[in-house]
A and B are shown apart, each in its own frame.
Chain A
């Protein structure tokens, strides 16, 4: 049943990294429960613009839960209250008339603020650059069917590969660790035969890069798994830990 509701927003506003930020209050009325959360913010921004005030800056792109660009903390939960749902997929039917929504950016030492709700997640790119790939140039690769991969392994690798790189795991973790993100890529490539030649080097380099970027350590809080919009499992962290130990003992490289 579509309804129109009235809600109060407390939104983090911050002009830039060198400025102080604060929560500002806005009223949003006549919000259709069929609207998505970001469409609600669009409506708020239209009113701010027409009032001659600066609209709220927030990152977004695909608005269908796959690109990983959107993401804010809503009432203390990265991407809001629904499980397995990105902020752009969250719809207003999950809120009630009179609700107050506190909307803040993902907070982590490694994610510097850009403006308002937008943050700099380039450290996640740096981690991938440290080894989240298979070193193969374009061309000259063997036929795609030459190495059979058991269907269950392919499914497990796909589960890990579904990570969208949004950083909600970092925002949810009390230590602001990026372990779930790192483990998703390490796990995907550790499971596949194509990833085995560099598996040891990869896990050591990516974890080292995660540390260098200022992310915290993993102490098995499991908040990341609870908040991940793609429901990436912490069994991938367990696999990363096994790979890490194997690499430390068995590798001649590091």
Chain B
């Protein structure tokens, strides 16, 4: 039996409009009776909290950092897609929908993706109204640029800091509601668990990161906007605090986790430079508008790039994919970079890098124009690598960046637990097996500004507000379990630090569940993860006490969850006997080394149910029906 996503019937283009009418409403005067908890203050969380408060709901918003403006959405660089067709180049809602479905390698839900494309224009309107300083043309209208997987110019941007500006727009809207008393903000709080009674989310348990106190918060609905799990690889472009805890704990309380093996490895990041490295830095995909990717034709060529003549360079993306060239989707670009380096043509000290060269663009447009488009990115590169990308090509290599998998949600963005909604990168829904560039920002804001405010009303209109308070025994029990785990972490008293375990887990995941996977490696990884997890609980050392600001304790809890979650991820990868998007199993590829799907047997969402520690997770399938799009082998030639 297929999991029911509650997708409305009727023609694709009408589904959302009809659904908005069919959803029951909450009377304006009744909205203030409902408490809603929003966890996370990124694009999804900030926009959701602000919009719900504007509607009149009583909102509590939580974040780990010292202020809501630190959420990692702030680091997104290149831009946000919308089907405005300002450029008159053939864009439309349908085309954005189609590009996204195809980019996702036909593993996303048509209804959700169409809706995303439909509201994309509204997002740009909203941001401009908030005072987001998008780039403009000389006549005063908004500028656009191109992004991977599309042949139209539909990406709106603010230099190479688009995420920052969109987030600050949402943060300003949120700040207005905090000032108005409609949102109570709880910074420096980490969600440790969700409280569930009778298959319904009733609230959360959080740790106050300054005092160490465990707090209980009840609500009529809980909205998780807690981002992605890329840090399971230890090294990723994520922020240091990014983690899977909130989503994974909800999973252990009954929420299905969908497609965890769909992880995105971004092709253009600054390569690793040492074993002490703490994270990887993204160089925006927008750079591929003007940068040309190449390697020396001969492997082991250590000449400086300026000394390698054109005839001895392989612009491999342009050669292999004439239509899309350097702007092929991320999974395709990453696998090609790995292939070139595996074949010995990599550059740099580690030979695990390829060139991203701006010489032609600078010659064509002038340095000033390039600086205006990408200035801050070039500066960032120079600070880290101490090379000048205006004078020599950037060296880049793929790195873990985004996770398409996440908690399973239906068309209303509600998980299989009543009252638990999941938005943004934390949910699985819109990007299928591979996300296109400039669409994460689009999805986070679509979910928070234009989807949840409607769908949560549909849910709340059916429930009685304030039925369960934080005095309920379930809260005490959940809080006690959280405390016990903290005490256990502090009392192990072993000899290895948390970061040391995290680093080792990251290497296992990168080696066996990274860009190219195989059955033998995945099976081996399961054993290695189980062994590492066992050692963690016997040999980790966590200094300090539970009652104050203890960053080691924070990291220990997150890594303990990664050590469990990693196993689920690998098992998901192992079960999916096909290649699609970011999940590439070497056994399933075309003659041209592209991902080969098995639509007959694997055209479904794999939603995993936690059945108990040490038990195998149970698989629930949501069959994907494609009524409007013809499934084909993805080609970007």
Closest to A31 in B: B276
- Give the docked Cα–Cα distance between A63 and B236 (Å): 11
Closest 10 CB pairs of A and B: A148-B140, A133-B172, A141-B129, A129-B179, A157-B133, A154-B136, A158-B133, A144-B128, A138-B51, A61-B239
B173 touches A133 (CB 8 A): yes
Task: Determine the distance from Cα of A138 to Cα of B139 in the docked complex, in whole angstroms.
Answer: 27
- Contact (Cβ within 8 A) A158 B178: no
A124, A137, A144, A147 pick with most chain B CB within 10 angstroms:
A144
**Could you tell me if B383 and A62 are in contact, using CB atoms closer than 8 angstroms?**
no
B175 within 8 A of A: yes
Q: A150 to chain B: which residues have CB within 8 Å?
A: 136, 138, 140
Looking at the complex, which one of B127, B133, B278 makes contact with A63 (CB distance below 8 Å)? B278
User: In the bound complex, how far is the Cα of B155 from the Cα of A177, in angstroms?
Assistant: 38
Q: Which of A5-13, A47-55, A212-220, A234-242 participates in binding chain B?
A: A47-55
Comparing A114-122, A168-176, A245-253, the segment that makes contact with chain B is: A114-122
**A36 close to chain B: CB less than 8 A:** yes
Q: Which residues of A have CB within 8 Å of B125?
A: 141-144
- Chain B residue with Cβ nearest A130: B179
B168 CB contacts on chain A under 8 angstroms = 161
Q: A42 on the interface (CB 8 Å rule)?
A: yes
Q: Within the complex, which residue of A60, A67, A148, A189 is in contact with B131, where a contact is CB–CB below 8 Å? A: A189
The total of interchain contacts (Cβ-Cβ below 8 angstroms) comes to 219
What chain A residues lie within 8 Å of B239 (beta carbons)?
Answer: 61-63, 67
Give the nearest-CB partner of B50 in chain A: A138
Most buried by B among A38, A39, A49, A124: A49
**Which residue from chain A places its CB closest to the CB of B86 in the assembled complex?**
A145
Residues of chain B with a CB closer than 8 A to A63's CB? 239-240, 278-279, 281
Task: Please determine whether A165 and B383 come into contact, CB atoms closer than 8 angstroms.
Answer: no
Smallest distance from the beta carbon of B462 to chain A beta carbons, Å? 23
Q: Which residues of B contact A137 (CB under 8 A)?
A: 51, 54
A-chain residues with CB within 8 Å of residue B128 when the two chains form the complex: 141, 144, 147, 194
- Beyond A53-B543, A55-B544, 12 additional contacts (C-beta under 8 Å) are A15-B548, A36-B384, A60-B240, A61-B240, A64-B380, A67-B239, A89-B384, A122-B66, A136-B126, A144-B134, A148-B136, A165-B67
Q: Closest Cβ of chain B: how far from A243's Cβ, in Å?
A: 15
Q: Which of B2-10, B70-78, B320-328, B430-438 contacts A (4 or more CB under 8 A)?
A: B70-78
**In the complex, which residue of chain B has the Cβ closest to the Cβ of A165?**
B69
Would you give the shortest CB distance from A19 to chain B, in whole angstroms? 11
- Least Cβ–Cβ distance between B2 and chain A, in angstroms: 34
Complex formed: what's the CA distance from A143 to B123 in Å? 10
Ordered by A's residue number, 6 sampled pairs between the chains whose C-beta atoms are within 8 Å are A115-B548, A129-B176, A130-B179, A132-B175, A139-B450, A141-B125
* Residue A23 CB within 8 A of the other chain: no
User: Cβ of A48: which chain B residues have Cβ within 8 Å of it?
Assistant: 543
Q: Assess whether A57 is in contact with B130, with CB atoms less than 8 Å apart.
A: no
Do B281 and A69 touch across chains, with their CB atoms under 8 A apart?
no
User: Would B65 and A69 count as touching, CB distance under 8 A?
Assistant: yes
Count of chain B residues near A, Cβ 8 A: 84
The reply to whether B277 and A39 contact each other, CB–CB distance below 8 Å, is yes
CA distance A42 to B275 in the complex (A): 12
Considering the complex, give the chain A residue whose CB is closest to the CB of B67: A125
Which residues of A lie under 8 Å from residue B304 when comparing CB positions? Answer: none
Count of A residues near B, CB < 8 Å?
A: 77
Chain A proximity mask over B173-200: 1 for CB below 8 Å, otherwise 0: 1011011000001010000000000000
Query: In B102-145, which residues have CB < 8 Å from any A CB?
Result: 121-122, 124-142
Q: Which of B159-167, B420-428, B505-513 contacts A (4 or more CB under 8 A)?
A: B159-167
A84, B379: Cβ atoms under 8 Å? yes
Chain A residues with CB under 8 Å of chain B are 15-16, 32, 34-36, 38-39, 42-43, 46, 48-50, 52-55, 57, 59-69, 82, 84-85, 89, 91, 93, 114-115, 118, 120-122, 124-125, 128-130, 132-139, 141-145, 147-151, 154, 157-158, 161-162, 164-165, 188-189, 192, 194-195
Closest Cβ of chain B: how far from A17's Cβ, in Å?
Answer: 10
Indicate if B415 sits at the interface (CB-CB under 8 A).
no
Return the chain A residue nearest B139 by Cβ. Answer: A148
**B484 near A: Cβ within 8 Å?**
no
Residues of chain B in range 240-290 having any CB-CB distance to chain A below 8 Å = 240-241, 273-274, 276-279, 281-282
B401: interface (CB < 8 Å): no
Give bound CA distance, A123 to B75, whole Å: 23
Chain B residues with Cβ below 8 Å from A132 are 172, 175
Contact A66 B74 (CB under 8 A): yes
Chain B residue with minimal CB distance to A127? B175
Chain A: minimal CB distance from B369 (Å):
13
Taking a contact as CB atoms under 8 Å apart, the answer to whether A49 and B552 are in contact is yes
- Say whether B141 contacts A148, CB under 8 Å: yes
Interfacial chain B residues near A43, Cβ < 8 Å: 276
* In the bound complex, CA of A210 to CA of B598 (Å): 61
Asked if B175 contacts A129 (CB within 8 A), the reply is yes
Chain B residue numbers with a CB within 8 Å of A49 are 497, 541, 543, 552
Closest to A230 in B: B376
Contact: A194 with B548, CB < 8 Å?
no
Do the beta carbons of B497 and A50 come within 8 Å of each other? yes
> Looking at the complex, which one of B50, B68, B134, B543 makes contact with A154 (CB distance below 8 Å)?
B134
Check if B453 is an interface residue, CB within 8 A of chain A. Answer: yes
List the A residue with the shortest CB-CB distance to B376: A162
| Contact (Cβ within 8 A) B133 A115 | no
B596 at the interface (CB under 8 A from A): no
Q: Does B205 contact A (CB under 8 A)?
A: no
Residues A67 and B548 in contact, CB atoms below 8 Å apart: no
Q: Of all chain A residues, which has the CB nearest B277?
A: A39
Residues of the A chain whose Cβ atoms lie less than 8 Å from the Cβ of B65: 61, 67, 69
Taking CB as reference atom, which chain A residue is nearest B136? A154
Q: A89-B383, A151-B140 are in contact. Are A61 and B51 (CB under 8 A)?
A: no
Residue of A nearest to B278 (CB): A39
Provide the bound-state CA to CA distance between A68 and B161, in Å: 13
Question: Would you call B210 an interface residue if the criterion is a C-beta within 8 Å of the partner chain's C-beta atoms?
Answer: yes
With a cutoff of 8 Å between Cβ atoms, the chain A residues found around residue B185 in the complex are 125
A62 touches B278 (CB 8 A): no
A69 to B187, CA, bound (A): 13
What residues of A have a CB within 8 angstroms of the CB of B171 in the complex? 128
Which residues from A are CB-within-8-Å of B31? none
CA–CA, A48 and B131, complex, Å: 46
Q: Given A66-B74, A121-B66, A130-B179, are A114 and B133 neighbors across the interface (CB < 8 Å)?
A: no
